[in-house]
Chain A
Amino acid sequence: MSEQLAVWPMLFLLGAYHGINPGMGWLFAVARGMQEHRMRAVAWSLPPIALGHALSIGVVVLIVGLAQVALPLMYIRIGVAVALVGLGVYKLIHSRHFHWGGMQVGFRELTIWSFLMASAHGAGLMVLPVVLAGPHAHCHIASQGAAGGVWATLIHTLGYFTVTAAAALLVYQKFGLAMLRRSWFNLDLIWAIALVVTGFVALLV
């Protein structure tokens, strides 16, 4: 029971961690506001950015959720761990920079951008160890696995959206972008390390 209770806050916090990264969405929302000189452009950018992120997480979680019907949990855990460590090490060695599209974006482009950005960072993979530790991890019925996956995605996205929206609105309205120069830490580097660490955690939990 305690295991189940811990999973939802963990998913929410992971979403918050993804959201705080300037490269993952809030900065784009701020830029849209600045380009159009209005707060509404910031607000309108947030739903597609969150939707793209949710799709990226959801696809990975659903695939693994369905795989559980066919495969023993241990196999999946090992597979996820290998993928996480592999991606983390790759990112530590190659600092490839993600880029897609431009600054003139509508709902569709922002959704695609956010989906690709989250996918390129392995955001869905990073969530998997938590999902696999959750209440639906041991079910072997496809519909229940899918329902668990949807819930996990929604809670994660809620954490992501809360932080992304707060950061975008606060930076646009109040703090301004000067802070970027000092406090935009290299989250990609931390991210790569986090991927490796969660890979090992996936094996242990």
Chain B
Amino acid sequence: MSIWRPDPTFYPSPKMAMQAPAEKLAFVAMLNGKNNGRHDALGVVDVDPASSGYGHIVGQVDMPNAGDELHHFGWNACSACLCPHAPHPHVERRYLVVPGINSSRIHIIDTMPDPRKPQIVKVIEPETLAARTGYASPHTIHCGPDGIFVSALGAPDGGGPGGIFVMDHESFDVLGKWELDRGPQNLAYDFWWHLGFDTVITSEWGTPSMVNRGVNPEILLSGGYGHKLHVFDLIKRRHQQELDLGSEYQMALELRPAHDPTRAYGFLGVVVSLKDLSASVWLWHRDNGKWGIKKVIEIPAEPADPATLPPLLQGFKAVPPFVTDINLSLDDRFLYVSCWGTGEFLQYDVTDPFHPRKTGSVHLGGIVRKAAHPKQPKTPLNGAPQMVELSRDGKRIYFTNSLYSPWDAQFYPEGIRSWMVKLDAKPEGGMEIDPKFFVDFGELRGHQVRLEGGDASSDSYCYS
């Protein structure tokens, strides 16, 4: 449907998007990790401090089938619709594209007319996805200048290669495999782009069969999970360059390129190093037309009494940080890092991206620490900071504590009790937990959070 003026949630530049009004609702993927035949759901959380429902789930839409494992999701349209080479700003940011990483089923959910009552309007079955693309386990969603781009972990048989496919942003038809030449790329996970440089960056986790029964210690210890980034030409759809961290670094996951389209650098979170169980953040950057990569943050493992550790970690006598998600503020100034093992949430000033400076730390949950929330100071929490989302103005941070149900069971074998919290960021660095905001997901588990109108990982921009 065409509208007369651009969708009011589209902003030409990240700087302008920072002036956007505060979000009042958040959408959260809620999965049923208990394997009891009950369905996953998309939840709507009230995040308006002036509302009586603040910090509560005020809406929910259940998926039509069981076993989807909702994971990441994204919008049909965003600020990229304002890009000059493919302008079509008269579409609405309205539909959420919500895939199940286990079922390979993609749900299109309409958030209008009442965003508290979202409705499923279309379901793409895994057979259709497989026939059109050869891919399965859809993961990251990004609205691009000319369609919806989705990454997929692998092939329908559970093997590789994983990659990217494209969906029509109006009909939601699956159009096909994106790559014309994938070069040496086989594993897939996240992707994002530098629109100003016509460049796509992709990262690596593992194929569906390498991850869907939990982390496989044999694959891990032999360095078999992903440890490379791939640089593609966005227009020619061809592989250009491989950036290898070395197989010691296992699981090169989340990608956060600078939002300013004139800045050719970005941050990558790496889960674990086989050498010392540390986690790290890397900076990829462009130099004379070639891309390079460099470790800029290292977070060490913390020694621990084996009795407090799950069986998988007891031999190491340490709890690894496990950086599973990162996020970057729209002014490219603050980088947020979730440590899902130690239960720490970190903030770095990355004004100089080569030399991040730690500016804040908060503890919640954690395998050993089990730090409590100020709203229930006597209740130890399990799970730990994981999927993090940031408001467009950079002032509010939200995160949930579950990772992926087969992996949750390995590291939090007592069973994750899922929650979502909110922190307030101070303008010059530092964070505080909002003592009034604590969402308990009950029987379900919260995963990715998307904010009404857009957030710090939903939109890409063509103007600085």
Contact = CB atoms under 8 A, between A and B. Distances in A.
B463 A103 contact: no
B429 interface: no
A196 B204 CA distance: 51
B356 interface: no
Interface in B1-60: 2-6, 8, 10-13, 16
Contacts of A35: 196, 261-262, 464
A97 B2 contact: no
A99 B146 CA distance: 7
Contact of B463 (A99, A105, A177, A185): A177
Given A178-B12, A186-B90, A101 B5 contact: no
Given A31-B463, A34-B463, A178-B16, A188 B85 contact: no
A181 interface: yes
Nearest to A32: B84
Given A28-B85, A177-B13, A185-B5, A101 B235 contact: yes
Interface string A166-205: 0000000000011011111110110000000000000000
A189 B2 contact: yes
Nearest to A189: B2
Contacts of A186: 2-5, 90
B2 A181 contact: no
Contacts of A22: 84, 87
A138 B358 CA distance: 77
A180 B6 contact: yes
A196 to B, nearest CB: 16
B464 A34 contact: yes
B152 interface: no
Q: Counting chain B CB atoms within 10 Å of each CB, which of A102, A178, A182 scores highest?
A: A102
Given A34-B463, A184-B5, A189-B2, A103 B196 contact: yes
Contacts of A103: 83-85, 195-198, 261, 462
A188 B6 contact: no
Interface string B55-85: 0000000000000000000000000001111
B409 interface: no
A102 B234 contact: yes
B112 interface: no
A102 B198 contact: yes
A189 B16 CA distance: 27
A97 B464 contact: no
Given A100-B85, A104-B197, A186-B90, A181 B4 contact: no
Interface of A: 22-23, 27-28, 30-31, 34-35, 37, 95, 97-105, 113, 177-178, 180-186, 188-189
Given A101-B85, A181-B10, A181-B12, 9 more contacts: A28-B85, A34-B463, A95-B2, A99-B146, A102-B85, A103-B83, A177-B12, A184-B6, A188-B2
